[in-house]
Structure 1
Amino acid sequence: MDQKLIFRRAEPEDLPRLLDLYLGSIALMRLQGIDQWDDVYPSEDVLAQDIANRDLYVLEDDDGLAASVVLNEEQEPQYRYVDWRYHTGNIGTIHRLCVDAGHRGKGCGKKIARMAEAYFRERGYSAIRLDAFPKNEPAIRLYRSLGYEFCGRILLRKGVFHCFEKSLAVELQEEQLL
């Protein structure tokens, strides 16, 4: 990837491009037999609210939006039934990580996930949680490659989702030793 990638908070004027990003990803996932997202979720209203809450971030290059992600502390109610490993400190949550179909295979998923981790680490969070659709094997591989540990399953509208968690405390300690 030769172009410079910029990680920034999404603005209201990004909404049309974000809709295109998600719709393109939904179409590609359908072709791959991954029924994770649809015309109900994530909707334009959901994305607009993410922007209004200042929780939606994008990874952008000269060609446009390469990826997006929502970063906050909101957890699905079903998360309370998961056997999480980390319970102290602030817990961040990653939602709706999406890579533009034209940017797949270029490291953008890993880049925006790393930026999400840096975002939470800089704000003193101790761990990150997320859920992923089990048939979305590229997402599962990404999270595992970044050190996220499987902690359980929850049932959401589209079926069973796998829950993952990663401690940031270990990385914070390692950085302090350097």
Structure 2
Amino acid sequence: MGRLRVTDWWERFFAVGIVLKGLDGVLELVVGTLLLFISPARIHELAVIVTQPELSEDPDDFIATHLLHTAAGVTGAAVVFTALYLLAHGIVKVVLVTALLLDKLWAYPWMIAVLVIFILYQLYQLTLTPSAGLIALTVFDILIVVLTWHEYGRHRHRRKLEGQS
């Protein structure tokens, strides 16, 4: 039974994190597309259906009450903005994750830059409306930046060595 080197762990964490980012991007594409075809009234109806079982057990359930409150405040313009926002995020994430999985060196600095922009925006949002979910997402994004930076350095070094041989 072989022992894993530290870089093997880095590579595994990086691969898992990048795949999760890619799945997040696909989910954003799906939700963004659905939002373009679902009316605000239907969104509120769906929120009621989804939260009803939980609220009947616990009328003060934090997630269910916030989901219902958010759905009630959705307007046509907000739906279109959210849909376009999610579609843009999703496209960027899916393209960059695909390029990283194909080992395209140019994608590493782009992924780092995009995530830093997301992190800055998330930190701004945290100053307005702190939430555990946003904190967790921000910490996850910071971890992905560190892992991407590490992998970028490894790949650049490997390619430099390959160029010398």
TM over 0.5: no
Higher helix share: 2
Could you state the TM-score of these two structures normalised by the residue count of structure 1?
A: 0.34
Higher strand share: 1
Higher-Rg structure is 2
Could you state the TM-score of these two structures normalised by the residue count of structure 2?
A: 0.36
| Structure with more contact order per residue of length (Cα contacts < 8 Å, sep ≥ 6) | 2
